[in-house]
Chains A and B, each alone.
Chain A
Amino acid sequence: MRRLTALALAVGAMLWLRELGVTGTVGSAGTALALGFALLGAWIAGDVLRRFHLPRLTGYLVFGVIVGPYLGNVITESMAAQLHVITGIATTLIALIAGLTLNLERLGRRLVTITYMTGATLAVAIIGLSAIAWIGWPWLPVAPDATGLARVAMVALLVVMVVSFSPTMAAAVIADTGARGRLSDMVLAMVILADLMLLVLFSVCMQLARVVFETGEGEGIDLLVRFAWEIGGALAFGVLLGALFALYMRYIGREVTLALLAVCGVLSQVGTTQQFEPLLAAVAAGLVIENLAVAQGDTLRAAVQRGAPPVLVVFFVAVGTSLRLDAVAAIGFGAIALSAVRLGFIRLGVRAGVKLSGLDEHIGKYAWTGLVSQAGITLGFASVVAAEFAGWGNQVQLLLVGSIAIHELVGPILFRHGLARAGDLDAPVSRPLVVVSNREPYLHSQDGDGRITSSAATGGVAVALDALMRERGGVWIAHGAGPADRLVVDAADKLGVPPESPSYVLRRLWLEEPTFSAYYGGFANEGVWPLCHVVDVRPKFRNEDWAAYKDVNARFAAAIHAELASPDAPVFIQDYHLALVAPALRAYRPEAKTALFWHIPWPYPDRLRICPWRREILAGLLANDLLAFQLERDRRNFLMAAEEDLGAEIDSEASRVRFEGRHTTVVSVPIGVDYDRIQAIAADPSLEQEQERLKNLLGLRAELIGIGVDRLDYTKGIPERLAALDAVMERQPGLRGRMTFVQIGVPSRSELQSYAEIEAEISRRVAEVNARHAVPGGAPAICYYRAPLTAFSLAALYRLAHFCVVSSLSDGMNLVAKEFVAARDDEDGVLVLSALAGAAQELDTALLINPYDVEGFADTLSRAIDMPREERMARMRAMRRVVAGRNVFIWASDILEGLESLWTKPLHYSVRGWEEMSV
C-alpha cells in the first residue's frame, strides 16, 4: 500500500510538472525525469507482479506500455525517445554480464559434454527454425515481400534472436526451488554457453544485415576485410578493455560500479563509432574480466549487482514505452506459432545433443525445459535490430516481445516440472562420507581372560563425527592404536562400527615404530603443536620427523584412494597431523573433494617462519577445497601466510585463495559440544549417585568446590592456575579447609620431554600448595586426580562445582569451557576463562582472565567465589544460549555443507544474485 501511495504521488508530481513545464528548452531536458520515473515506477510494478508469481520483467514492460506515449502519456513521446539514451549502455551491459558468467575453470571437465549438448541443440534449432522461417516468411508479420539476400539476412537475425535463452531466469528458478542436481547444473551451463555462442552469431548476422541493407555495394575481398575488421576488431577491443578493467580492479579497485558502467558506455560509443560490434566486444571484455580478475570475482559481482538493476530496468521500460498495444495484439498469433516451433526444435536439438555427448538419458530428457525462458538478452537483441533497421526491425521487436512474454510465463513452469521429474527437487540424499583422523573412534583391547572389549572415544569431536557417520555411512580411516585392534579387523583391515549396530566402516591404518613416533610425537607434537601455540616451548624440527610425517600422510592418502568408492564422496580430514594428505590424494584422485579442519590456532606469519617446511604445509593445506579454522583470527593469519609465503592470490571478500590453479575456500567455523547429549546426562536421575561416588573417590568434603579439567599439557596454564589459587588462599585464609579445587589431569604425550617436565612441575606445585594451606581436619586445598573420567562422571563433577577454571596460555577453542556450561542446566556456576582460549571469543560473559597475570587471575577467582547468585545465573544463562546455538553437529554440517556447495552449485555461483536483473 505504501508503495502504491508513493507511486501515486510520483505520478501526480509528474503530471503537475508537465503542467508547469516549458517547451523549447534544451533537447535533453526531461531525460533525467523520465529515467527517474521509469526506474521507480517499473520497480514497483515488477514487485507487484512478482507477488503474483509473475516475472518482474513483464512488470517493467507493462509499466512502460501503460505510462508510455501510446497509452497513459505520462512519459511523453520526447521523454520516451530520451529514455533510449540508455539502450546502448544496457545492451552492452547485458552482453558483458553474459561474458562474466562464463568461468572456464568452473566449467572445467564438463566443458566437452556441455559443448556437445549446446552445439547440437543450437545447430538443430537454428537449422530447423531457419527452414521454417524461410518457408513461412510470407505469413510472418515482419517483411513479407523481402527476397534474396535481404530475406536471408532477416531470417538469420530473426532465428538467432528467437533461439536465445535466459541464464538468469534459469538461475532464478533453480534458486527459487532450491534444486540441486545434475539437471540444474547442466541447464545452467548450457544457457550460459549457448548465449555466448548466440551473441557471436548475432554479431555476425548483424554485420551481414548491415552489408545487405546499408552498403550493399561492397563486394569480394573488400567485404571480407571489412567483415574481419568489424568482428576481429570488436574482439580485440573487448579483450583490451577487459584486460584494462581487470588491471583497474586489481590495482585500484575503487568505485568499481561506476567504472563498470563507464566501460559499458565506452564499449557502446567507441564500438559504434569505430564500426566494431559492441555486443561482441562486450562479451569478450566480460570473458576476460571474469577469467583474469579471478580474485576480485566477488567485488565484481557486487559492482554488477549495484549498478546493473537501474540501467536494465530503465531499458526494459524504454522498450515498453515504444510498444503499441494494438500492434502487439495483431502480432500475437505469429508469436504463439513461433514459440511452438521454437519449443519443438529445442526438444529435437536436446535429443540430438544427448546422443552426441553420451549424457545420462534421464537428465537429457528434461534439459529442454530449462531452455524455454527468454528475457533481457533477447530483448537486447531486438532493440538493437529495431534501432538499426527501422521498419522491419520494429516488426521483429514486436514479434519478439510477444514471444518473450509467452516464454517468460511458460518457461519457469516447465523448468520446475523438469527439475521435479529429474529428481532435482527431491530432498538431497546424503553422500557417504570419508572421515580421516589420526585417532580412531573405537579402540579394542583384551582383558585378562582374553575377552576383547571395545571402548568409544569420549572427546566431543569424535562423538559428533561418530554420530554423523552413523547417519550418513561411509568410511572412517584412522591409526589403529588399540592393543587388540588387529584382532578384530578383516583382511582389508576393516570392521563395522559401532560394535552394537554397525552402520559405517572403520578402516585401520597400522603405523609402525619408529615412524609413528617421528610423525606423531616428533613433527606433529614437538614441531607443529608448539609452533601454533604461543607458549615458551621451542618447536623442534628434525629432518627425520618431517620425512616420517610426509610418509604417514601419503599412507593416509593411499588408504583414502583405496576406500573412495565414489568421486562425489566428501573427504573430511581432521587436524594438524594430516596437513599433507590432500596433495598426496590429488596425485591419485585429482577430482576428490576434501575439507580439512584445523583444530588448533594458526600462528601469525612471523612465528610461522620458524618452521623450515612452512611452504610445504601451506601448499598442502591449499590442496583442500575447503579449509576451516576455529577463529576468525586463525583464518586471517592463514590468509596472510598464504599471501606472504606462497604469493597466493587472495580474494578477501570471498575468503578464497587461488594457488597453483586451484581455489581453496578458507572459513572459520568454531567447534561446539554435543549439547543435547550433555543435557541428557545432566537430566539423568542417577547423576546424584555418581556425584556421591565422586565425592567419596576424591575425598571431597569442602563446602566450596572449584574444578579444572585438562590434558596435562604445557599450553593449559595449570601452573599459573595453581599460583593464582595459592594467592587466593594467601589473601583469604578463611578459605583454607573450606574450599577444594579439583584438578583432573589426563596424562598425555608423556614420552615427550616437555610433557614429562610439565607433569612433574604440576605434581610438585600441587604438593606445595597443599602443604602451605593445610588445615588439620579440613579439606585439602587441591585435589589432584590423574586419570580420565567418563562423560557421565565429568557431567556429575561439573554440576558439583561452584566454579570452573580454564586458564590456557594458548588454545584453539577449549571444549571444557563449553561442556561445563552445557552441563549447568541449573544455570548456576561461574566460568573463569582465559582470554587466550578460543572459547573466550564466544563466551564473553564468562569471567575472563589473563593467565600470565597471577594477581589479576587471583582477583578474578575471588570474584568468582563471592559472586551473588543472580549474577551467576545471568552470566550462565547468556553462555548457555551461545553454547546451545552452536553445537558440534551444526559445526560438522556447516563444514560439510560448505564443502558440498562448492561443487554442487559451481555455476549457480556465477549468476548468483543476478536473478533480479532478468538478463
Chain B
Amino acid sequence: MALGPRGLGLLSPAVLSFLDPVVPVALATLGVLVGLGIGLDRRGDRRLLIAANLESGLTMLAVAVGTALVAPAAITSTTVPPWMLALVAGICAATSLTLPAGTSVESRARVLRVVELDVLLPILAGGLVLAAARESSLLAAVSLVTQACIVTVALGATGWLLLARTSVDTEQRVFAIATLLLVGGAADYLSLSALLGGLVAGTFWQSVGGQARDCIRRDVIYVQHPLLVLVLLVAGARTDPSPTSLGLAVAYVCVRTAGKVAGGLMAKRVAGIGAPPDLGVHLISPGILGVAFALNAVRAIGSDMSVVLTVVVAGTIGAELLAGLSQPRKALE
C-alpha cells in the first residue's frame, strides 16, 4: 500500500501492468501448492475435511450475508451485482493459512490439517463464482469450469509427459516453468480462477506422482516465497483505501471472527479427539489465500472488484492483529 500509486508511487500503474501477467501464475502456483499438499489418505483426514468445510462454509456464509446486507448501501461506485461482491468477500474470508504457536504437538498437527483443508471449499466456490461472473447462467458457468478443468488436466498431463523422463536439470526447470505458465495463463485467458486451475493441476500431479511431481514440487517450493511477496505487493498496491472501505473492513473482521469462532466450535465436534477446544481462535489468523483470491477476482472481473480487494487487504491486516492479540492472552491462561 505504501509503495503503490496512492503511496510513494514506486509501484506505478506502468510497473503494475508489467507485473500483471505474473499474478495469475503466482496464484496458480499457490493452487498447485495446495493441490500437492492435499493427499487425503492420512488417518482421520475425512473427519477433518468435513470439519474444515463446515467451518469455512459457515464463515463464508456469515461474511457473505453481512456484506450483502451492507453492500448496496455502502458500495455504490461499482457495476458488479451486490451478490457477487458478497460472495467474493465471503470466499476471501473463509480461508486461514497461518498457524498460531504455543499449542501441543498433537493439537497443532490437527489445527494445521484443518487450515490446509479449509481452503478447498473456498477455492472451488471461487472458481464457480468467477465463472458465473463471465457466463449468463449457472449451468453455463459449471460447464465452463468443467471444460477449464479438463484443459488444465491436459496441460498437467503435458507437463507430466515431459517431466517424467527428462534428467537434465535445465530442461526440467524449463518444462516446470512452462507448465506453470500454461496453467496460470489458461485461467487468466479464460478470466477464471487461477487458484482453482493450480489446485486441479496440483492434485493431478500429486495423484500421478513420480519424477514429474517431484520436479514441480521442487520448483514451486523454490519460487513460493518470492511469488507470495509479489502477490501481497501487487494486492497492497492495488488497494484504494477510503473511509467507506475501512469501515467495511472493520465490519468484515468482526463478522469473520465471529464466523471463525462459531465455525471452530462446530468443527471441533466433528474433528473429534485431538482438536483443541478453542479451534476457532486458532483460525482467526487469515493467511494470504483470501488476499490472493481477491486479487484473482480483480484480475478476472475487473477493477470494479477493487473495493472488495481493499476491504479484504485491510481486513486481513486487522484480523492478523486480532489473532496476534488473542494468542498472548491464551498463552498466559
| Partner pick for B185 among A3, A9, A35, CB 8 A cutoff | A35
Do residues A310 and B182 form an inter-chain contact, with CB atoms below 8 A? Answer: no
Asked if B17 CB lies within 8 Å of chain A CBs, one says yes
Task: Known contacts A36-B179, A310-B178; decide if A31 and B173 are in contact (CB<8 Å).
Answer: no
Which of A25, A37, A313 meets B191, CB within 8 Å?
A25
Task: Provide the bound-state CA to CA distance between A386 and B190, in Å.
Answer: 32
- What's the minimum C-beta distance from B48 to chain A, rounded to whole angstroms? 34
Q: Is the CB of A2 within 8 A of B161?
A: yes
**Which segment of A13-21, A197-205, A648-656, A667-675 sits at the interface?**
A13-21
Contact of B189 with A33 in the complex, beta carbons under 8 Å: yes
In the bound complex, do residue B178 and residue A305 qualify as a contact, i.e. CB atoms below 8 Å apart?
Answer: no
Interface residues on B, range: 35 or more
Rounded to whole angstroms, the CA-CA distance of A595 and B257 in the bound complex is 69
B188 & A30 in contact (Cβ 8 Å cutoff): yes
Q: Are A43 and B178 in contact (CB under 8 A)?
A: yes
Residue pair B162, A26 in contact (C-beta under 8 Å):
no
B residues within 8 A CB of A222?
none
C-alpha spacing A39/B174, complex, angstroms: 7
Would B178 and A36 count as touching, CB distance under 8 A? yes
Q: Which of A22, A32, A85, A310 contacts B18 (CB 8 A)?
A: A85
Shortest Cβ distance from B133 into chain A, in angstroms? 11
Contacting residues of chain A (31-57) with chain B, CB-CB under 8 angstroms: 31-37, 39-40, 43-44
Contact among A9, A17, A28, A310 with B173 in the assembled complex (CB-CB below 8 Å): A310
Contact of B21 with A22 in the complex, beta carbons under 8 Å: no
Q: How far is the CB of A877 from chain B (nearest CB, A)?
A: 30
Is A916 part of the binding interface, using a Cβ–Cβ cutoff of 8 Å? yes
Cα distance, A441 to B175, chains bound together (Å): 57
Q: Which residues of A contact B158 (CB under 8 A)?
A: 6-7, 9-10, 13, 40
Within 8 A of B (CB), among A739-779: none
Which residue of chain A has its CB nearest to the CB of B28? A32
- The residues of B that contact A313 with a CB separation of less than 8 Å are 174
Contact with B along A310-327 (1 / 0, CB 8 A): 100100000000000000
Q: Are B184 and A32 in contact (CB under 8 A)?
A: yes
Contact A3 B162 (CB under 8 A): yes
Interface string of B158-200 (1 = CB under 8 A from A): 1101101100001101110111111111101111000000000
Contact of B188 among A2, A32, A43, A309 (CB under 8 A): A32
Select which of B151, B180, B302 is within 8 A of A17 by beta carbon.
Answer: B151
Determine whether the beta carbon of B17 is less than 8 Å from that of A28. Answer: yes
CA distance A40 to B162 in the complex (A): 9
Is A13 a contact partner of B18 (Cβ separation < 8 A)? no
B305 to chain A, nearest CB (A): 12
Residue in A13, A255, A310 whose CB lies within 8 Å of B177:
A310
Given A2-B161, A3-B162, A916-B170, A39-B186 contact (CB < 8 Å): no
**Looking across the interface, which residue of chain B has its beta carbon closest to that of A2?**
B161
Range class of the A interface residue count: 35 or more
A21: contacting residue among B189, B223, B299, CB under 8 A: B189
Specify which chain B residues have a CB less than 8 angstroms from the CB of A28 in the assembled complex. 17, 20-21
Taking a contact as CB atoms closer than 8 A, the residue among B25, B144, B155, B299 that contacts A13 in the complex is B155
B11 CB, min distance to chain A CBs, angstroms: 12
Q: Does B157 contact A (CB under 8 A)?
A: yes
Q: Which of these, B15, B144, B154, B177, contacts A39 with CB under 8 Å?
A: B177
Contact yes or no, B25 A32, CB < 8 A: yes
Could you tell me the distance between the alpha carbons of A32 and B173 in the complex, rounded to whole angstroms? 16
Interface 1/0s, chain B 213-245, versus A by CB < 8 A? Answer: 000000000010110000000000000000000
Bound CA span A256–B245, Å: 39
Whether B148 sits at the interface, judged by CB under 8 Å, is: yes
B144 touches A20 (CB 8 A): yes
Closest chain B CB from A8 CB (angstroms):
9
Q: Is A5 an interface residue (CB 8 A)?
A: yes
Most buried by A among B22, B189, B191, B299: B189
Q: Does B147 contact A (CB under 8 A)?
A: yes
- Given A9-B158, A20-B144, A20-B148 in contact, is the A39-B191 Cβ separation under 8 Å? no
Q: Given A13-B158, A39-B178, does the pair A29, B186 have CB atoms closer than 8 Å?
A: no
Task: Across the interface, name the chain B residue whose C-beta is closest to A13.
Answer: B154
The answer to whether B175 and A33 have CB atoms under 8 Å apart is no
The yes or no answer to A358 lying at the interface (CB within 8 A) is no
Residue contact B151 to A10, C-beta cutoff 8 Å: no
* Complex contact B181–A32 (CB within 8 A): yes
In the complex, chain A residues whose CB is within 8 Å of the CB of B155: 9-10, 13
A383 close to chain B: CB less than 8 A: no
With a cutoff of 8 Å between Cβ atoms, the chain A residues found around residue B223 in the complex are 258
- Chain B CB within 8 A of A459 CB: no
Query: In the assembled complex, how far is the CB of residue B187 from the closest CB belonging to chain A, in whole angstroms?
Result: 9
A768 to B4, CA, bound (A): 88
Is B21 within 8 A of A21, CB to CB?
Answer: no
Q: With an 8 A cutoff between CB atoms, is A269 at the interface? A: yes
CA distance A309 to B144 in the complex (A): 35
By the criterion CB–CB under 8 Å, are A32 and B178 in contact?
A: no
- How far is it, in angstroms, between the C-alpha of A6 and the C-alpha of B18 when the chains are bound? 30
A517 to B39, CA, bound (A): 72
Decide if B182 touches A36 in the complex (CB within 8 Å).
yes
A258 touches B226 (CB 8 A): yes
List chain A residues, Cβ under 8 A from B24. 32
Which chain B residues lie closer than 8 Å to A881 at the CB level?
A: none
Can you list 19 A-B contacts with CB-CB less than 8 angstroms, sorted by A residue number? A3-B161, A6-B161, A6-B162, A10-B155, A20-B147, A29-B191, A31-B188, A32-B22, A32-B24, A32-B181, A33-B188, A36-B185, A39-B177, A40-B158, A258-B226, A309-B170, A309-B173, A309-B174, A916-B170
**Given A2-B164, A10-B158, A305-B170: 4 more A-B contacts, CB < 8 Å:** A6-B162, A16-B151, A17-B190, A33-B186
Q: Which 4 A-B pairs have the closest CB atoms?
A: A36-B181, A33-B185, A32-B185, A36-B182
